[in-house]
Amino acid sequence: MSAYSAVYALHKVRKEAITRLPTGLRTNHTAILGATTLEFGLYYGQTFRWALENATGWMVGVVAKVMKEPEVDNFIGVNKKLLESYALTFPLVKGEVQYKLASL
């Protein structure tokens, strides 16, 4: 995937996330991230919020792994970093990720 197509794909995913939200939340960064779809892994196609609510342990494990990976400048790498950013906005998840990293 070229850099242009990766940027286009990310823009498309963000636009789709915004359209899923009620009008009042369409400028809320955390809400937009929550409505963003996973573009990798076991729960591909689910939203970040869905994964947080329904597969918290999976999300904690993925975020811990992503934090240890070098930054990857492609569509999947950026999606993973967005997931990390979303997950770490929640103090309980952040604590679980830190515990997971300490135990690795």
pLDDT of residue 3: 60
pLDDT of residue 6: 67
pLDDT of residue 89: 97
Domain parsing of the chain, residue ranges: 3-103
pLDDT of residue 1: 57
Residue 100, class by beta-carbon neighbours within 10 Å (0-12 exposed, 13-18 middle, 19+ buried)? middle
What single letter denotes the amino acid at residue 7? V
pLDDT of residue 40: 93
pLDDT of residue 72: 78
Q: Which pTM does this prediction carry? A: 0.87
* Low-confidence residues in the chain, pLDDT < 50: none
Nearest to 31 by CA among 98, 86, 104: 86
Nearest to 34 by CA among 80, 84, 77, 86: 86
